[in-house]
Copies of this chain bind each other. A is one copy, B any other.
Amino acid sequence: MSFALRDPIHDYIRVDDLEAKVLQSRALQRLRSVRQLGLANLVFPGAEHSRFGHVLGAMELAGRVYDSLAEKTPTLLENDARSPQRRNLRLAALLHDIGHAPFSHSSEELFEGGIEHEQMTARILELPDLADLFDGAQELSGEGVGLDPVRRILAGNGDATERLLSQIVSGELDADKMDYLLRDSHYCGVRYGNYDLGRLLETIVALQDPDSGNWALGIEEDGVHAFEALVLARYYMFTQVYFNLTGKVLELHLNEWLKENGVLWPRDAERFLAHDDLSVWSAMRDSTSEHARAILDRDHFVLAFETKEHLTKAERERFTSILETVGQQLEPGEILVSNSAKDPHRLGESGVPVRDADGGIRPMQEVSHFIRYLTRIDRFRVYSRSGRRKEIRALFRGLWPTHPSP
């Protein structure tokens, strides 16, 4: 038995009985109160969706990636909808975001002890809740399905096959971004995130390194342009939505307000689960802090200065030192500074392997012209109260004379 949930991105998502139980757990239900894009809905009114829909979508796509690989490599992955590998993978995808802080990425630097949300996910998986749930549902899970393999897939420390499954949950070609790009585009009402999912699933492939024996998610040569499109979709979602000019300053105000109030997301998983967007909003509403009002009344700092989109390392260092200089001339709290130094492709040295028609394997960076030239987005933005904008702008312009550019 199973049921199917209606989803705006993938139409029907089927959920089996074990997954349904996990879906009802406190850790999953909490995600209904954690918006996928933090405060972005204050800029893109449609972006009111929570992480709950996203993890369902990630689960669905993890299954589809599995099916595509299993069809091509049945010796590695059992080509069966009920195989334990596939079920563990789907569960891992469903659970992969339970450690997200309120407002998702907006405030994720405020974990006690500086842990990352993936570590919090691991901690929540240690709580009795989910263990009890799996224990009590053994007749639903069947041989080989359980919390242990799920944890190994999430941690990336399983056997060779599980380590391949880990890449489906988190990696350069993962179900996570395959879902969120489509989903965030749908809700924001933009087209940037619409890559060619069908083609990607057609051409994704599991490739084994002849020396190490390790498996990697790769792409067939005639899917390279579909992969590029995925990377570009992500690039544009970053520049247009995730790093949106106004969205970013609202996040800065949020972080300031949280810091003012000494808020840190508890290291303790049990206590952590009590925090979500709702608990923060409730507290913020009564606050008279400038930063709370900036968000609630949309009376936020405005852009005074920004660098171009792709700073070189030298430019970055120079700007950092300018920032320090300017900072000394200003009262504390006069500016808020964002730096979007996320790497939009994360290809680094490893690279997604590409298999050509003759079976040869080469790194993506060698094959793809675009990927080779894609550099990380590294831009600083300086925001101030609107009354001080001109003055502060002038300060930076005096020290950083080149023209700002995208």
Give A residues with C-beta under 8 Å from B. 4-9, 11-12, 24, 29, 32-33, 41, 44-46, 48-50, 52-53, 56, 186-192, 194-196, 198-199, 202, 221-222, 224-225, 229, 232, 236, 239-240, 278, 281-282, 296-298, 309-310, 356, 360, 362, 366-370, 373, 375, 403-406
Contact = CB atoms under 8 A, between A and B. Distances in A.
5 contacts: A32-B48, A48-B48, A190-B196, A232-B232, A373-B373
Given A32-B41, A45-B53, A367-B406, 16 more contacts: A6-B188, A6-B198, A8-B187, A11-B189, A24-B298, A48-B53, A190-B196, A191-B194, A192-B196, A192-B229, A194-B194, A222-B406, A232-B232, A278-B282, A369-B373, A369-B375
A191 B186 contact: no
Contacts of A375: 369
A186 B46 CA distance: 11
Contact of A362 (B50, B368, B405): B405
A229 B232 CA distance: 9
Given A6-B188, A53-B46, A186-B8, A297 B24 contact: yes
B45 A48 contact: no
Given A9-B189, A52-B45, A278-B278, A225 B406 contact: yes
A72 B15 CA distance: 16
Q: Which of A188, A224, A225 has the most CB of B within 10 A?
A: A225
- For the complex of A and B, list the 10 residue pairs with the smallest distance between their C-beta atoms, beginning with the closest: A8-B189, A373-B373, A8-B46, A11-B198, A45-B53, A6-B189, A224-B406, A191-B196, A12-B198, A282-B282
Nearest to A12: B198
A404 to B, nearest CB: 7
B45 A368 contact: no
A225 B229 contact: no
A404 B191 contact: no
A122 to B, nearest CB: 25
Nearest to A224: B406
A191 B202 contact: no
B225 A44 contact: no
B194 A45 contact: no
Contacts of A403: 356, 360, 362
Contact of A7 (B46, B232, B239, B370): B46
A49 B368 CA distance: 32
A4 B190 CA distance: 13
A23 B201 CA distance: 24
B50 A49 contact: no
Contacts of A232: 232
A46 B49 contact: yes
A297 B24 CA distance: 7
Given A356-B404, A366-B405, A46 B278 contact: no
A5 B199 CA distance: 11
Contact of A236 (B24, B49, B225): B225
Nearest to A239: B225
Nearest to A406: B224
B405 A310 contact: no
A5 B229 CA distance: 20
A240 to B, nearest CB: 6
A45 B282 contact: no
Q: Which of A4, A56, A196, A406 has the most CB of B within 10 A?
A: A406
Contacts of A360: 403
Given A191-B195, A375-B369, A403-B362, A7 B225 contact: no
